[in-house]
Structure 1
Amino acid sequence: MISVVIPAYNEEKRIKRSLEALSHQTIPRDEYEIIVVDGGSHDKTYDIAEDYADMVFVQESERVAGARNDGFLRARSNLVATTDADSIVAPDWVEHAVRSLSDPRVVLSFGPVTPIEKNDINKRYALLFNGLIKFGAHSKLYYYTLGCNTAFRKDALLKAGMYRIMDAGDDLEIAVRMRKMGKVKFAPDMKVGFDFRRYHEFGFWNTLYEWYYIVLQGGISDKYSYTRREYHDDVIMQEK
């Protein structure tokens, strides 16, 4: 029914929980495909992924966007979705992803995020993210299609050229081209737990600054990189 593509790089501490959530969905496991595209990890990410995924391979293209594209090209289904190795999808996420594309006119669907660790600061972050997502969807001024929670009709995605190889902004830029292929739909029932560790470790405003800096540079930057960024769990703030 659908192929789910997950890019991963040095995620041995988190990818198991992500893949376990994907493996226990409201639809039978044999009705969807899990593809993990490893970015050349030097930990146990690849080995863990092999225990859960239908396909695991080392990416051939550059950056996270390239990893997603590599997975799409190998997907066996005409419906494809993508999430992140540190995200946790809801138990009915795959079902709602498929349902959101039931209208053949819809070529891209996307949903909101919820915080994995439900402390006050994460709830505020999620409120901000979802506010931006919903405002864009209802106003149709833009579509905030986060890479952790997006589904596509594969033939339209290939025709549009898939993700642009960028350090940041690729998950918003793709929606601009997909709008020319058909309808873009906000699916509120497609819920994904989001890991806010980047914002904790590097600071919320600093992370936003980095993101906008990269986007203003045309999406490519030697100064900042999210693709190969290392995180240190012992310094991540855990606000109760």
Structure 2
Amino acid sequence: MRALLIKHDHLTFAGPVGERLTELGWDLDERLVVSAEDHHAPGVQFDFPDPLDYGLIVPMGSPWSVNDPGVASWVTPELAMLGKAHAAGVPVLGVCFGGQALAAALGGAVERAPRPELGWVDVETDDPSLVAPGPWFQFHYDRWRLPPGAVEIARTAVGSQAFVIGRSMGLQFHPEITPFELECWLGHGGDAHMRAAGVDPDAVLEEVRRTEADSARRTRALVDAFLTRVAAGDR
């Protein structure tokens, strides 16, 4: 079983999402879209592989917006790739930017949220056995509008947090978060973003460290439920 894991930048890691997939026998093919050298000029050309060569597609987060014209050179083909995967019945698990990209690829849209969500947030869930109430880690400024036919699973006051459509699922939060990943984000502008929003990045990082085991446990359960109930077409 092969899974395509799309890392849009060098500061994103598969974390416990990738660990759980590997434990379950998935062979992860990780592709990096924007290298560290191109981080400040991310309008690169990138050739996405054929999604039909995989049993699962996992587009991860990104510091850029789906709507950012500066990254349209690779966002546009990525949306086409996700649409092709979904149409062929290849499951997609979209994480944050990846969830927004999935929504946009299937006829929804991405827009600026009324305020950012930064740090740990509980969600209102209609199906806690699929998407638990959390808390889940958030770091986003945009939100999606659901594509036609999607079923919303979870939400906050800011926006939709999870949806299912066919064999695919979009998540607004970051189940893959680890202390190392957050340290990378904070060291590359995230610290300033949090402080500007009135959030203490040091306190958030300490909480991520303190709750790492619990967070990984929730993520493993989420991955398992996605694979058995959504990707398998049994929901």
TM-score (norm 1): 0.31
Higher strand share: 2
1 or 2 for the larger relative contact order (CA 8 Å, sep ≥6)? 1
